[in-house]
Amino acid sequence: MTDTQKANNSAPKRTPLYQSHVDSDGKLVDFSGWELPIHYGSQIEEHEAVRTDAGMFDVSHMVVVDVKGADAKAWLQKLLANDVDKLKTVGKALYSGMLNEQGGIIDDLIVYLMNENATEYRIVSNAATRDKDMVQFEKVAKGFDITLTERPELAMIAVQGPNAVEKLAQVKPSWADTLATLKPFVGADLTDIEGTDWFVARTGYTGEDGVEVIMHGDEAPAFFEQLKANGIKPAGLGARDTLRMEAGMNLYGHDMDEDVSPYECNMGWTLALKDERDFIGRKAMVSKRKQSKDDNTAMKQVGLLMTSRGVLREGMEVTINQGTDKEQKGIITSGTFSPSLKNSIAIARVPATLADDDNVQIDLRGKGKFVDVRVLKLPFVRNGKQQFDS
């Protein structure tokens, strides 16, 4: 392989909206092998637009896989920790972890029921985990009557914010009735309105109302310009991260991975353990559920708020009851400055025995100068409102 071929193979991929980002003055960076905008001039303004009005994100790097076949439901019930049997109406979505046998999280993803017979589903999963996801899909598919079709030709735009749905209806008046009746975590096929491949779902990753729209990549740039012309502000990865952190939403590879169980990253609610369904990782999850809260090896996820100067960052050690015989340690898995709260926030994994009256501190600069932080239940912000008492 020549040096040029190696360079081409390692070069970031581009979504169908690459030129749209360039034309909108987006600052492009490499994100999980994709060239995507970190911001379009001001991360703070983009964050505020989504919290108070409407913004849009190019999420075309996400992986879309269509599942069809007589065993589609049975396969998903084996593959996922949450149970797709909960999906009773076409378009309904389910959030779930896909676990390994030890109960670690291979990925977190969303599944949509696409037909009444439960023989067609759509999976939307993370770009960074694409290769190992596909390996797991195929591995578990052995013996099941299904067909898996990855859809790289599709693009995806998330339109988020308190005015997102209203403004989208102005852009697409023919969607107005569909959008008006679309409930949270439900999608709708727009084929009858727009033609093949158009799909809208009331989902997102910001803690605000809004939708995610899937379409063929060839149609994405014109749609992007329509949204922009109607006052929906382009927003980049920077705002996406501060928004999801304020909303207490995990980022794969940071707040969870294959060594972290759902109980350790606030995903225990996604585990469907009431029946005897034999999903991958079930035995490990049943064992961890029985684990005593007094067991010092058990961990849980919390939010941290720091009102003094400085910024909490991923990898910083959390010290509980520093200098006492009750001292314990945790770790910050995501940290940033919150534009909405005007203070630094973090998502942290700490011992499950952490009590309300424990003293929790961070050594910001690693020099033994500890700073007090407040422990909070996530999220910090939801639908534009602070979720804790000041």
* Known binding-site positions for substrate: 212
- DSSP conformation letters of 143-155: TS--EEEE-TTEE
Question: What is residue 85's DSSP assignment?
Answer: G
CB neighbourhood size of 329 (10 A) = 11
Q: What CA–CA distance (Å, rounded) separates 89 from 80?
A: 19
Q: What CA–CA distance (Å, rounded) separates 194 from 174?
A: 9
Question: Checking DSSP bridges between strand 374-376 and strand 370-372, what pairing results, if any?
Answer: unpaired
Tokens 């598919």 locate to 141
Distance of CA 105 to the CA centre of its chain: 13
Query: From edge to edge, which strands make up the β-sheet containing 317-320?
Result: 370-372, 360-363, 317-320, 328-338, 343-351, 299-306, 374-376
For helices 237-246 and 43-52, give the axis angle rounded to 10 degrees: 50
Tally: H helices and E strands in the chain: 11, 23
Q: What CA–CA distance (Å, rounded) separates 112 from 87?
A: 8
Q: Which three-class secondary structure string do you get for 11-65?
A: CCEECCCHHHHHHCCCEEEEECCEEEEEECCCHHHHHHHHHHCCEEEECCCCEEE
Give Dmax (Cα) for the chain: 66
262, 270 Cβ separation under 8 angstroms: yes
Structure tokens at 174: 């023919």
Q: Which residues are annotated as a binding site?
A: 212
